[in-house]
Amino acid sequence: MDPYFEIDERLLALSDRAEELARPAFGRIEETQRYNQQKMLAAFSRAGVSERHLFGSTGYGYGDQGRDVLDQVYAYALGAEDALVRWNFVSGTHTLTVALFGLLRPGDKMLCVTGTPYDTIQGVIGLPGREEPGCLKEYGITYEQLELLPNGTPDYDTMEEKITPEYKLVYIQRSRGYSLRPSFSVAEIGRMAQIAKRKAPGSIVMADNCYGEFVEKREPTEAGADVIVGSLIKNPGGGIAPTGGYIAGRHDLVELCSYRLTTPGTGREIGCTLGHSRELFMGAFHAPHVAGEALKTAVFASALFSLLGFEVTPQPQEVRADIIQVVKLQNPENLIAFCRGVQKSAPVDSFVIPEPSPMPGYDSPVIMAAGAFTLGSSIELSADAPLREPYAAWMQGGLNYHSGQLGILLAAQEMGKAGLLKL
Ligand SMILES: *Cc1c(COP(=O)(O)O)cnc(C)c1O
């Protein structure tokens, strides 16, 4: 049954029950995978992707058709007028930064309507205590935020009151990031965008779409967001893009961002692709399927660990808006064993034993499991956890369900071996 990893028979029986519990969610995920894969193939076909587009340019990269066609592929697949897809975006944070600096001018006001943004963005904005050199605040761009309701959902009533034409940009974060709030569906983002458009018709609605791409059949750009931004080493790079990011949305806004990425005047016309185009096209092709595999891995983890008696969020049957799964493991021993088990399933560095260690910006030690082909890739199975209450592991990724499922089983197995589970 399991010739290679010697998984406990009782755990395998529980795994079957977890898959049974996950079946309705798997059905929905597979339907979305099928739909989005067709959407992606239609995008390739409509953009006319050809073999010559797979080769790279050097130097200034003038006239690089592969680069321009890749932009079109993502624009079509994300339901956007236009897209800027570049390996030169060094991270998701960098891509979001380029978009914010591209769209905002001194004196402009930005309003985040989904509570405190993702950690790294705080320093880009220049939140109190996080005023990094070069942040938006230094350029005279002011920031305000609306808190979420106590249950973590958007406060639509306050948005109705608070949004006025004085705000140039309304900012929405789709994913929970490393918090315990729920992630926001495309429908919910659409509702926020509609309020923004009604109360401040000239404003730009921008969504941080990290971890959300291809989780649903529509993207926020198809529900009223003007611009969405994400990282290619998460969902939209299909586990193949070695680096990069994208900005997609209204044509005029994408152009503005391109002037920030390179220079005013040259914008998207320059930027060589070296040898990266082929990987980026392949990543785009695989992305809808891989996002679904990561989702199935998350649902399986949710099902297995709820059967093992742990609190999980989202629940196995819950409709999801991103690929993140949180498992509250109750104590540091469980958390450490969990991460060590996940690490054992990695294709790269499976022999490494994760240890908690201090991290800049965190008030408690952090433990991570990651054994990825791409450094820091979180579309590959990975888990991170600060060693503090509620000793929760934030896990995400899984390039294919079979390897993802094995990672989750080995996490449980490791806890079992340490005598921490009653099977
Ligand atoms: C990952 C992520 C980012 C930033 O991406 P990095 O590549 O880590 O810089 C921003 N926002 C959210 C919600 C994310 O999940």
Checking DSSP bridges between strand 142-145 and strand 109-112, what pairing results, if any? parallel
Mean pLDDT lowest among 27-31, 80-84, 212-216, 419-423: 419-423
Peptide bond preceding 390: is omega within 30 degrees of 0, i.e. cis?
yes
> pLDDT digit string (tens) for 292-307?
999 999 999 999 999 9
Quote the CA–CA distance of 88 and 403 in Å, as a whole number.
30
Other CB atoms closer than 10 Å to residue 287's CB: what's the count? 27
- Looking up tokens 């003007």 gives 226
The domain boundary residue, chosen from 265, 284, 303: 284
Ligand 1, atom 12: closest residue by C-alpha: 210
Same domain, 210 and 355: no
Average pLDDT on 7-21 reads 97
Average pLDDT on 43-61 reads 97
Probe residue for ligand 1, chosen from 112, 208, 232, 380 as the CB with the greatest number of ligand atoms within 8 Å: 208
What is the pLDDT at residue 278?
98
Same domain, 92 and 226: yes
Instruction: With a cut of 70, say whether residue 128 has pLDDT above it.
Output: yes
Same domain, 383 and 295: yes
Quote the DSSP letter at residue 373: S
Same domain, 32 and 83: no
Closest CA to 188 of 228, 155, 231, 236: 155
- Looking up tokens 């990011």 gives 245
Of the two residues 177 and 375, the one the predictor is more confident about is 375
Q: Of ligand 1's atoms, which has the minimum distance to the CA of residue 233?
A: 7
Quote the CA–CA distance of 206 and 301 in Å, as a whole number.
31
Average pLDDT on 97-123 reads 97
Same domain, 167 and 65: yes
What is the pLDDT at residue 362?
76
The tokens describing 316, both together, are 């196995």
- Residue 1 within a domain: no
Which uninterrupted H or E stretch holds 59? Answer: none
Quote the CA–CA distance of 108 and 206 in Å, as a whole number.
14
Quote the CA–CA distance of 248 and 229 in Å, as a whole number.
6
The domain boundary residue, chosen from 259, 284, 309: 284
pLDDT band at residue 76 under the 50/70/90 scheme: very high
Distance (Å) from CA 408 to ligand 1 centroid: 23
Quote the CA–CA distance of 197 and 205 in Å, as a whole number.
8
Which uninterrupted H or E stretch holds 390? Answer: none
What is the pLDDT at residue 363?
78
Quote the CA–CA distance of 134 and 261 in Å, as a whole number.
15
Same domain, 320 and 335: yes
Average pLDDT on 207-212 reads 98
- Residue 215 within a domain: yes
Same domain, 294 and 274: no
- Domain of residue 403, residue span: 9-37+289-417
- Residue 44 within a domain: no
Residue pair 310/255 in contact (Cβ under 8 Å)? The answer is no
Average pLDDT on 148-159 reads 97
Closest CA to 240 of 207, 274, 273, 289: 289
Closest CA to 407 of 338, 350, 345: 345
Distance (Å) from CA 60 to ligand 1 centroid: 29
Same domain, 280 and 297: no
Quote the CA–CA distance of 404 and 67 in Å, as a whole number.
32
Q: Structurally, how many domains does the chain consist of?
A: 2
- Residue 137 within a domain: yes
Quote the CA–CA distance of 173 and 93 in Å, as a whole number.
13
Closest CA to 372 of 337, 338, 407, 402: 407
Q: What's the CATH number where 197 sits?
A: 3.40.640.10
| Residue 54 falls in which region: left (phi positive, over 0), alpha (psi -120 to 50) or beta | alpha
- Residue 46 within a domain: no
Same domain, 193 and 308: no
pLDDT band at residue 422 under the 50/70/90 scheme: confident
- Residue 422 within a domain: no
The tokens describing 5, both together, are 């990893």
What is the pLDDT at residue 177?
85
Residues with CB under 6 Å of ligand 1 are 91-93, 118, 120, 173, 175, 177, 208, 210-211, 231
* CB neighbour list of residue 74: distance below 8 Å, 6 or more residues apart: 43, 80, 83, 85, 236, 246, 248, 284
- Residue 214 within a domain: yes
Tell me the percentage of the chain whose pLDDT exceeds 90.
Answer: 96
Same domain, 108 and 239: yes
pLDDT band at residue 285 under the 50/70/90 scheme: very high
Average pLDDT on 204-225 reads 98
Probe residue for ligand 1, chosen from 120, 174, 179, 180 as the CB with the greatest number of ligand atoms within 8 Å: 120
Q: Of ligand 1's atoms, which has the minimum distance to the CA of residue 174?
A: 13
Same domain, 280 and 353: no
Distance (Å) from CA 63 to ligand 1 centroid: 31
The domain boundary residue, chosen from 239, 260, 284: 284
> pLDDT digit string (tens) for 92-106?
999 999 999 999 999
Same domain, 275 and 294: no
Distance (Å) from CA 21 to ligand 1 centroid: 31
> pLDDT digit string (tens) for 164-192?
999 999 999 999 988 899 999 999 999 99
Quote the CA–CA distance of 206 and 196 in Å, as a whole number.
11
Ligand 1, atom 5: closest residue by C-alpha: 92
Collapsed DSSP state (helix, strand, coil) of residue 41? helix
> pLDDT digit string (tens) for 327-336?
999 999 999 9
The tokens describing 359, both together, are 């991290």
- Residue 367 within a domain: yes
Instruction: With a cut of 70, say whether residue 246 has pLDDT above it.
Output: yes
Closest CA to 293 of 383, 211, 397, 378: 397
Q: What's the CATH number where 345 sits?
A: 3.90.1150.60
Quote the DSSP letter at residue 357: B
pLDDT band at residue 1 under the 50/70/90 scheme: low
The tokens describing 264, both together, are 């005013």
Quote the CA–CA distance of 159 and 146 in Å, as a whole number.
8
> pLDDT digit string (tens) for 300-359?
999 999 999 999 999 999 999 999 999 999 999 999 999 999 999 999 999 999 999 998
Quote the CA–CA distance of 107 and 96 in Å, as a whole number.
19
* CB neighbour list of residue 64: distance below 8 Å, 6 or more residues apart: 56, 57, 271, 272, 273
